[in-house]
A and B are shown apart, each in its own frame.
Chain A
Amino acid sequence: MSRLEAKKPSLCKSEALTSERVRTTLSVLKRIVTSCYGPSGRLKQLHNGFGGYVCTTSQSSALLSHLLVTHPILKILTTSVQNHVSGFRDCGLFTAILCCNLIENVQRLGLAPTTVIRLNKHLLSLCISYLKSETCGCRIPVDFSSTQILLCLVRSILTSKPACMLTRKETEHVSALILRAFLLTIPENAEGHIILGKSLIVPLKDQRVIDSTVLPGILIEMSEVQLMRLLPIKKSTALKVALFCTTLSGDISDTGEGTVVVSYGVSLENAVLDQLLNLGRQLVSDHVDLVLCQKVIHPSLKQFLNMHRVIAIDRIGVTLMEPLTKMTGTQPIGSLGSISPNSYGSVKDVCTAKFGSKHFFHLIPNEATICSLLLCNRNDTAWDELKLTCQTALHVLQLTLKESWALLGGGCTETHLAAYIRHKTHNDPKSILKDDECTQTELQLIAEAFCSALESVVGSLEHDGGEILTDMKYGHFWSVQADSPCVANWPDLLSHCGCGLYNSQEELSWCFLRSTRHPFVPQTCLPLEAVGSASNLTLDCLTAKLSGLQVAVETANLILDLSYVIEDKN
């Protein structure tokens, strides 16, 4: 009988957001995420104090998954950021910082939550429709016929993760590798519906980053002894492959719910082994060159196959099954009996390879959409960070393939957007308010809170005490070093804006981002020739940023709408 225990009553707290405790924890979280943001962001070391794994990171996915958040309100915030990151992989910190800023700014105003939520929603839709519109001045089309913009996109992601510990040269190398790996997953003769392949990341720790490489096909790691035992195949044509998903170890399969009585002297093991050897004979007579098994192959069968110059590799594991099926075009075999000839696949060639201290069995495909990215880094933590970054970059490239636009990075999109919103709410408040019950003053207040939240996100790109400026023509982001003499001639102190599109030699006027200024119209409709000339741009993924923006505002609205917290104490 199960033990029944009375449930403890829950704890019910009202006005959760205004309490001092929540405010302090929220500001602590905000400080953690803001200090990580951007290329010069500070790293966080996460460890449990009992030794073991230490994580050094500045990425939201690693950071938030290791942080133990107990307060329910913070939990909402962190889980919504994590959910965003697990889908888009990019713009996690942006989302977290924006959400914290919005909550803080709006709380300071003390307006009724209904109004705040309604107006926030209007402002959000204003942002979204601007970013998606043709006139948007902060997005550029991605040209897939040249690698330039794609490389910029990958490079921007790599440089924004300082915990990867890459030098400039290494960054260039890894960016090129990532782009190659991505291009290898695109099928060559795509008609209509494209199904992308997969890039498998193979770890090679304690190696120089420069040694990283991309290979088409799949690498199966093996010990040197095993590899020596494999006989070299001399064959000019493609190799025939059989891929088994069922065990070939000679286990007796499920016998049903009733009982099976075995008479004395009857050895089922022998019976099964006979069956396995029959299978081996069939494989040999079908001229199979390579037998791969997800699970274990019986040693006798293995030996039999080897004797007939068939390579047998077992314990492949479930993770490699799908890419193997895809690459070889096999049907995973689940039968010990007759095998349909259609189930066999093929590879172009096999070879052995050694990278660092590891030995690999390399399957080279006929026509590849599967590739292996051998990734090296000096130590465990830096490798983990680099792996996450590579996954992010590959995913961002996939997203860009779907929607071929990129946003200007380096903070320029945010300042530009803030300038646009300010201008819009100042000059045309009627179109935003429509039939709502909110007043213009309320709109001005919320718009200011919204814009300054966006601007403080980019403000946190600067960690070394420098000043942040914005120009009055494009509304871009400019940063100036901390020790520069104040109010000098700006064109000499500044070189390029955050995204690198404009340089300071143009006739521009600047002002501090934090200072109050008259709303101006940022220049919309980005001229194409400006994009063509700039070679080294900082770019962001449009899809990820849009979703991040939406999630941040929605989560902030959600948190601002809370009136009670009921904590289950069981």
Chain B
Amino acid sequence: MLSSMAATGSVKAALQVAEVLEAIVSCCMGPEGRQVLCTKPTGEVLLSRNGGRLLEALHLQHPIARMIVDCVSSHLKKTGDGAKTFIIFLCHLLRGLHAVTDREKDPLMCENIQTHGRYWKNCCQWKFISQALVTFQTQILDGIMDQYLSRHFLSIFSSAKERTLCRSSLELLLEAYFCGRVGRNNHKFISQLMCDYFFKCMTCKTEIDVFELVDDYFVELNVGVTGLPVSDSRIIAGLVLQKDFSVYCPADGDIRMVIVTETIQPLFSTSGSEFILNSEAQFQTSQFWIMEKTKAIMKHLRSQNVKLLLSSVKQPDLVIYYAGVNGISVVECLSSSEVSLIQRIIGLSPFVPPQAFSQCEISNTALVKFCKPLILRSKRYVHLGLIGTCTFIPHCVVLCGPVQGLIEQHEDALHGAFKMLRQLFKDLDLNYMTQTSDQNGTSSLFIYKNSGESYQAPDTGKGSIQRPYQDTVVENKDELEKTQTYLKVHSNLVISDVELETYIPYSTPTDTFQTDETLKCLSLERNRLTDDYEPLLKNNSTAYSTRGNNRIDISYENLQVTNITGKGSMLPVSYKLQNMGASQSYLSSSMPAGCVLPVGGNFEILLHYYLLNYAKKCHQSEETMVSMIIANALLGIPRVLYKSKTGKYSFPHIYIRAVHALQTNQPLVSSQTGLESVTGKYQLLTSVLQCLTKILTIDLVITVKRHPQKVHNQDSEDEL
């Protein structure tokens, strides 16, 4: 019963799937995103802008789609943010890979495999790429983060040592977060609510365990009320249990409470035992004994000033009655998570009714500030004023909304925000290699030579390369020229002339510095360099001609060409710096907790910029290619964010300004206020790369009719 389906060209298939998903998620991405309405099979409706929820609601059948969704949800479980960005980034990566490999005529990779069938060649190629991806993710990415990006990071803490958090920076962070998660008319309100909640719950010292607690028990810490406007949502001090009192006795002063996890009334027999009744009198006496015992326990509780009994099970009528008689309020049927939340807040262990009755003091009681019924829109809840023993000061969020679906959305978003903060408050370890791996002898020779010479030398080298490969260079140049003309055409429309002038000189380099000696010296090196440039230039120009993009996109594509060439001429300087301390060694450092960047694609643009710089420097074609693809795919995210913006705030403008600022070492100016967590972005990047590696390593999808057996089950059978 095994039928197989060959998934040839898994990248192509994955790209198709990802593009469909991209179309769905991009509509609710960013501050301008809109809501999506999901219906459940039960007929309920859910409003969502949460990428993870949407993807799950789709119930996708395509195997690759399901794999992607799995990857997204495992990422979300960890970080609580970034599902939409995940899909968009993945889609752009696949697009880049697809475009490169479709056209790739790289002799290095394919020549020796050409004898095999095309299918297997593809597979090998994917394997190379996926290996390169893994290398990139494990060895290179962290280095770039640490060495280049880190200088741009801001800290959310007003003082890094004590980790104190000021309200305004938290507001900026949360507002940016909720912008993408809840409806436009509510995001300000919800982020204020979250801010209030945060500062009310925290003691002066912000500890990571508070986030863990809130994240783990968020369901118990919020109450949803339908039929009220969202603006009625508020924060209540204390804990609200979503049940009513079984018995309520108003009490004040010194209120103590106990938690029980079993019935207080003793029963005839416990499980595994047998109770033999020999006479009616025996039955009556045992019933009497039970009654008296229950009465005595409740009286004893009363004498210890216990006025509240929380029970995780249903208590018999008898217990309820004697509780009422003794003025003890009772709340029954607490869920296990409610019990463990209360235990964590006040550090109280359950009370076990003593077997042999004694007058000793009950140790495990806790003091409660108040305990009273709370009525929210004609439904009754139990409101407890717990006195926390840990750093968490118990507060509850009451979320109001006209429909349940909206409340769920807000609840989801708040929960996600706590997940995000939990990640943000952790240090992130970075491990990487200081040197780009395996440089061959020739190239290092070249470096040493160059280091003795003037800075002009590499430029000469670069220019001279063009001679032996006249034909290709001419082609390149033509394209360059072409792109420049496009630039000029569009410059009037969208880009200011001044900025253009600064870039164009870089893109027409060369011929003046040619010297034949260096040419001979570097003949081996040339091959590499041209290889680096060629696919890139071709990539960009063809991308222009085949894709019917709009004007903004065109000018952006072209600009990229000029920028890269421009950077090319500055490249040797950093080369030298890199190799000064050059031996392969692993470094580990860490990113301090609380690193943030301004929103609006800053992280992506920065990483893009430094990755391109890096790509210039490395000599391995896979590495270069991978870095380039990732760098270009990163730009897809800000492009979606600025989709609806025009004029000065359109993406090409933002991009040019950012790159210009980076090149001239000026600080980046962001058009939007708001901050986002670097840790979150970093984790997103690694998750996407892992997902992509997973997709690439699969060469065949086999459909089986039976449910796949779990492996460990078979193992245990073998042992038997």
Residues of A within 8 A of B (CB): 4, 6-10, 12, 14, 16, 72-73, 75-76, 79-80, 82-88, 113-114, 117-118, 120-121, 245-246, 253-263, 266-268, 270-271, 274-275, 331-338, 340, 342-343, 547, 550-551, 554-555, 557-558, 561-570
Asked if A566 and B32 make an inter-chain contact with CB atoms under 8 angstroms apart, the answer reads no
Contacts of A331 in B (CB 8 A): 321, 324-325
Q: A117-B183, A246-B317, A558-B406 are in contact. List 11 more A-B contacts (CB 8 A).
A: A76-B47, A257-B267, A260-B269, A263-B278, A266-B278, A266-B279, A270-B280, A564-B27, A566-B58, A567-B38, A568-B41
Contacts of A85 in B (CB 8 A): 227
Q: A263-B278, A266-B278, A554-B230 are in contact. Are A562 and B34 (CB under 8 A)?
A: yes
CA distance A118 to B183 in the complex (A): 11
Interface membership of B273, Cβ < 8 A: yes
Please tell me which stretch of B80-88, B144-152, B282-290, B486-494 contacts chain A, meaning at least 4 of its Cβ atoms lie within 8 angstroms of it: B282-290
Asked if B184 and A114 make an inter-chain contact with CB atoms under 8 angstroms apart, the answer reads yes
Interface membership of B671, Cβ < 8 A: no
Asked if A76 and B321 make an inter-chain contact with CB atoms under 8 angstroms apart, the answer reads no
Interface membership of B60, Cβ < 8 A: yes
Kindly name the residue among A331, A335, A555, A557 whose own CB sees the greatest number of chain B CB atoms within 10 A.
Answer: A335
Contacts of B318 in A (CB 8 A): 246, 334-335
Asked if A253 and B37 make an inter-chain contact with CB atoms under 8 angstroms apart, the answer reads no
Cβ 8 A contact of B268, one of A6, A260, A561, A563: A260
CA distance A72 to B117 in the complex (A): 51
Please provide the chain B residues from 89 to 106 with a CB less than 8 Å away from any CB of chain A in the complex: none
Contacts of B357 in A (CB 8 A): none
Q: Which residue of A lies closest to B324 (CB)?
A: A331
Asked if A554 and B275 make an inter-chain contact with CB atoms under 8 angstroms apart, the answer reads no
Interface membership of B587, Cβ < 8 A: no
CA distance A266 to B283 in the complex (A): 9
CA distance A332 to B247 in the complex (A): 10
CA distance A186 to B43 in the complex (A): 41
Contacts of B377 in A (CB 8 A): 87
List 7 A–B pairs whose Cβ atoms lie within 8 Å, in order of A's numbering.
A79-B403, A257-B270, A258-B268, A261-B277, A342-B325, A554-B229, A563-B36
Contacts of A564 in B (CB 8 A): 24, 27-28, 36-37
CA distance A267 to B283 in the complex (A): 10
Nearest-CB distance from A135 to chain B (Å)? 22
Interface membership of B39, Cβ < 8 A: yes
Asked if A554 and B185 make an inter-chain contact with CB atoms under 8 angstroms apart, the answer reads yes
Contacts of A79 in B (CB 8 A): 45, 403-404
Question: Which applies to chain A's interface (DSSP): helix, strand, loop or mixed?
Answer: mixed
Q: A79-B404, A547-B228, A566-B36 are in contact. Are A561 and B184 (CB under 8 A)?
A: yes
Interface membership of B402, Cβ < 8 A: yes
Interface membership of B405, Cβ < 8 A: yes
Asked if A565 and B37 make an inter-chain contact with CB atoms under 8 angstroms apart, the answer reads yes
Q: What 6 pairs across the A-B complex have the smallest Cβ distances?
A: A258-B269, A256-B267, A334-B317, A334-B321, A83-B227, A257-B271
Interface membership of B702, Cβ < 8 A: no
Q: Which residue of B lies closest to A555 (CB)?
A: B402
Contacts of B24 in A (CB 8 A): 12, 564
Instruction: Give the size category of B's interface with A.
Output: 35 or more
CA distance A120 to B267 in the complex (A): 63
Asked if B284 and A258 make an inter-chain contact with CB atoms under 8 angstroms apart, the answer reads no
Kindly name the residue among A9, A245, A554 whose own CB sees the greatest number of chain B CB atoms within 10 A.
Answer: A554
CA distance A263 to B39 in the complex (A): 59
Interface membership of B322, Cβ < 8 A: yes
Interface membership of B708, Cβ < 8 A: no
Contacts of A118 in B (CB 8 A): 184-185
Nearest-CB distance from A559 to chain B (Å)? 9
Please provide the chain B residues from 272 to 306 with a CB less than 8 Å away from any CB of chain A in the complex: 272-281, 283-284, 287-288, 291-292, 295
Cβ 8 A contact of A554, one of B59, B60, B274, B402: B402
Q: Which residue of B lies closest to A550 (CB)?
A: B229
Nearest-CB distance from B36 to chain A (Å)? 4
Interface membership of B547, Cβ < 8 A: no
Q: Which residue of B lies closest to A80 (CB)?
A: B402
Asked if A253 and B316 make an inter-chain contact with CB atoms under 8 angstroms apart, the answer reads yes
Cβ 8 A contact of A87, one of B33, B276, B281, B378: B378
Q: Which residue of A lies closest to B280 (CB)?
A: A271
Nearest-CB distance from B273 to chain A (Å)? 4
Asked if A258 and B270 make an inter-chain contact with CB atoms under 8 angstroms apart, the answer reads yes
CA distance A554 to B572 in the complex (A): 59
Nearest-CB distance from B60 to chain A (Å)? 6
Kindly name the residue among A260, A334, A551 whose own CB sees the greatest number of chain B CB atoms within 10 A.
Answer: A334
Cβ 8 A contact of A567, one of B27, B33, B39, B229: B39
Q: Which residue of B lies closest to A564 (CB)?
A: B36
CA distance A479 to B419 in the complex (A): 58
Q: A113-B34, A246-B317, A563-B27 are in contact. Are A267 and B267 (CB under 8 A)?
A: no
Contacts of B118 in A (CB 8 A): none
Asked if A86 and B317 make an inter-chain contact with CB atoms under 8 angstroms apart, the answer reads no
CA distance A566 to B36 in the complex (A): 7
Asked if B35 and A9 make an inter-chain contact with CB atoms under 8 angstroms apart, the answer reads no
Q: A6-B61, A257-B271, A563-B28 are in contact. Are A72 and B277 (CB under 8 A)?
A: no
CA distance A117 to B281 in the complex (A): 76
Interface membership of B596, Cβ < 8 A: no
Contacts of A7 in B (CB 8 A): 59
Q: A10-B58, A268-B280 are in contact. Are A83 and B403 (CB under 8 A)?
A: yes
CA distance A87 to B376 in the complex (A): 10
Kindly name the residue among B32, B227, B275, B404 whose own CB sees the greatest number of chain A CB atoms within 10 A.
Answer: B227
Q: Which residue of A lies closest to B23 (CB)?
A: A14
Interface membership of B57, Cβ < 8 A: yes
CA distance A226 to B656 in the complex (A): 92
Contacts of B39 in A (CB 8 A): 72, 75, 565-568
Q: Which residue of B lies closest to A89 (CB)?
A: B378
Q: Which residue of B lies closest to A71 (CB)?
A: B39
Nearest-CB distance from B175 to chain A (Å)? 15
CA distance A16 to B274 in the complex (A): 65
Cβ 8 A contact of B317, one of A6, A88, A245: A245
Q: A86-B227, A254-B316 are in contact. Are A561 and B35 (CB under 8 A)?
A: yes
Q: A253-B316, A561-B35, A562-B35 are in contact. Are A551 and B227 (CB under 8 A)?
A: yes
Interface membership of B707, Cβ < 8 A: yes
Contacts of B292 in A (CB 8 A): 337
Asked if A73 and B37 make an inter-chain contact with CB atoms under 8 angstroms apart, the answer reads yes
CA distance A443 to B591 in the complex (A): 47
Interface membership of B116, Cβ < 8 A: no
CA distance A562 to B34 in the complex (A): 6
Contacts of A10 in B (CB 8 A): 38, 57-59
Q: A72-B39, A80-B402 are in contact. Are A343 and B183 (CB under 8 A)?
A: no
Nearest-CB distance from B42 to chain A (Å)? 9
CA distance A275 to B318 in the complex (A): 15
Nearest-CB distance from B32 to chain A (Å)? 6
Q: Which residue of A lies closest to B227 (CB)?
A: A83
Nearest-CB distance from A80 to chain B (Å)? 4
Asked if B283 and A256 make an inter-chain contact with CB atoms under 8 angstroms apart, the answer reads no
Q: Which residue of B lies closest to A395 (CB)?
A: B378
Asked if A256 and B405 make an inter-chain contact with CB atoms under 8 angstroms apart, the answer reads no
Asked if A566 and B54 make an inter-chain contact with CB atoms under 8 angstroms apart, the answer reads yes
Q: Which residue of B lies closest to A16 (CB)?
A: B37
Q: Which residue of A lies closest to B57 (CB)?
A: A566
Q: A12-B24, A83-B227, A268-B277 are in contact. Are A334 and B267 (CB under 8 A)?
A: no
Q: Which residue of B lies closest to A69 (CB)?
A: B43
CA distance A14 to B47 in the complex (A): 14
Contacts of A333 in B (CB 8 A): 321
Nearest-CB distance from A497 to chain B (Å)? 29
Nearest-CB distance from B333 to chain A (Å)? 16
Contacts of A270 in B (CB 8 A): 280
Nearest-CB distance from A450 to chain B (Å)? 14
Nearest-CB distance from B381 to chain A (Å)? 15
Interface membership of B226, Cβ < 8 A: yes
Asked if B185 and A340 make an inter-chain contact with CB atoms under 8 angstroms apart, the answer reads no
Asked if B41 and A260 make an inter-chain contact with CB atoms under 8 angstroms apart, the answer reads no
Please provide the chain B residues from 596 to 617 with a CB less than 8 Å away from any CB of chain A in the complex: none
